[in-house]
Amino acid sequence: MPPPVTSLGASSAPRQENRAGRGAASQDIVYGGGGIVPANPMVPRSFRVSRSPSDASIQGFRSNGCSGRRRPLRIVREAHRGAPPSLSNVRILLTGGAGFIGSNLVRFLLSHRTDVELINLDLLTYAGNLENLADVEENPRYRFVHGDIADPELVREVMEAVDVVLNLAAESHVDRSVVSATPFVRTNVTGTLVLLEAALEAGVERFVQVSTDEVYGELPWRDPTSADPGPRFTEETPLRPRSPYSATKAAADLLALSYHTTHDLDVIVTRCSNNYGPYQLPEKLIPLMITHALEGAPLPVYGDGLHVRDWIHVEDHCRGLDLALTRGRPGAVYNFGGDTERTNLNVVNQIVEAVGADPETITFVEDRPGHDRRYAISFGPARAELGWEPRIVFEEGLHTTVDWYRTHEEWWRSVRAEEYRHPDEPRRSVSPDPPPTRHSTRP
């Protein structure tokens, strides 16, 4: 049982008005067995970290997810909510940090930024896995909180201890949204609303809503090898989501931007093309094909395999998110793309070659409902305002990703339970379909 946490002094200072016109008291934040308590209001809020001599476990936020091996931290902050954000020496709330992009972002920020501390809030649904973060578990600048972004009480508690928010928590698999949209509405829409309300009340300095290019809908198909680049999504492209997943992400984006317009909350929205890299669940195209190819199993490709996607390595995406957080313009939308259009069939053929699998294992299956034909994204504002461009060439990134799955077989086998298998399987369990039929590849 950890020792009780005691306040360093009751606050008698008047509440400061934040940009939203709501009160936010200047206070210290103490973590420990008693949760979050106010401390001495007379100490300037300059974000310096003082460590308790106690090795008491962190049990705040009503969470069972905090490690008992980490010491409590006390955050001291100066009340200056009306000023532009000074995004160094900050504590970041990163939601969904146990997922694919989230865990890579946790690792990226801890390795590239020595001036930040991270609180990772994750519900650990099928997509969240603490094994993704085993290598940072003991980092003194990292905390994990097991909880739901749609839980207002918990979110308010956590929000009082942070300066900025990176919201990556989301239900994100299109096929699952076709089976049932309810979890997507609850997490992607209601959860984002809860975070925004808590951020507004606490007066956080910046809220980054991490989204997807799928909110733009689909583009006319074109051959990626053509000399004509064809149209691409820009930040000005009207939102035309075509799946329950992308509809809920579009709703969350619009909610976030409305809080900037209506309440002057410092909000930035980022939209990214298809990610790939380590720690991605084997239900998505690239890791699914890699793991199946390593086993010599059939490689199920939707439809004719000519759907076009713009691929970006997750590390490039993480670098863009860091730049959006530190350099972004309040109220702006930034697209991040890999400038790498490939058909799904081309990607699968590259994986077959990299693994040394049999090309005959490629099997074409019935296409999913509403499958968008092409995505391609322009990232002019990210280049001009943030100085960002993708660095990792797709073919090189794909080979390193294949190597990662080859050397982390224990990881992907441990996560590939029934719910991680090809999304066509759970859909059949809801509404039985005939066996997939094989057909020839279109030129």
- 431 Cβ neighbours under 8 A, 6+ residues apart: none
The answer to whether the CB of 72 falls within 8 A of the CB of 56 is: yes
pLDDT band at 126 (very low <50, low <70, confident <90, very high): confident
SS (H, E, C) 313-376: EHHHHHHHHHHHHHHCCCCCEEEECCCCEEEHHHHHHHHHHHHCCCHHHEEEECCCCCCCCECC
Cα angle, residue 17 at apex, residues 15 and 18 outer, rounded to 5°: 125
Instruction: Give residues with Cβ within 8 angstroms of 194, minimum separation 6.
Output: 149, 150, 151, 152, 155
* Window from 35-39, 83-87, 94-98, 231-235 with minimum mean pLDDT: 35-39
How far apart CA 208 and CA 321 sit, in angstroms, is 8
**How do residues 250-267 score in pLDDT, each as one tens digit?**
999 999 999 999 999 999
pLDDT confidence tier of residue 85, bands split at 50, 70 and 90: low
Q: Is the pLDDT of residue 441 over 50?
A: no
Element containing residue 118 per DSSP (H, E): strand 116-122
Report if pTM > 0.85.
no
334 — phi, psi (to 5°)?
A: -125, 130
Contact 76, 31 (CB under 8 A): no
Nearest one of 278, 286, 423, 404 to 347, comparing CA atoms: 286
Nearest in space to 161 (alpha carbons), one of 265, 53, 29: 29
Residue 18: pLDDT band (50, 70, 90) is very low
Mean pLDDT of 114-130: 93
- Tell me the average pLDDT across 118-143: 94
C-alpha 331/C-alpha 287 separation (Å) is 34
Helix (H) / strand (E) element for 251: namely helix 244-263
Q: What structural domains does the chain harbor? A: 18-268+311-344+370-401 (3.40.50.720)
Question: What are the CA-CA distances from residue 63 to residues 30, 32, 166, 311, 327 (Å)?
Answer: 15, 11, 20, 36, 33
Query: How far is C-alpha 349 from the geometric centre of its chain's CA atoms?
Result: 28
**What is the structure's pLDDT at 67?**
33
DSSP state of 3: P
Q: For 173-219, what is each residue's pLDDT tens digit?
A: 787 888 888 888 999 999 999 999 999 999 999 999 999 999 999 99
Residues 6+ apart with CB under 8 A from 410: none
Cα three-residue angle 67-78-38, rounded to 5 degrees: 50
Residue 230: what pLDDT?
Answer: 87
Return the H-helix or E-strand segment holding 77: strand 73-77
Q: How far apart are CA 288 and CA 422, in angstroms?
A: 7
Kind and range of the H or E run holding 271: strand 267-272
Hey, which residues are catalytic here?
213-214, 245
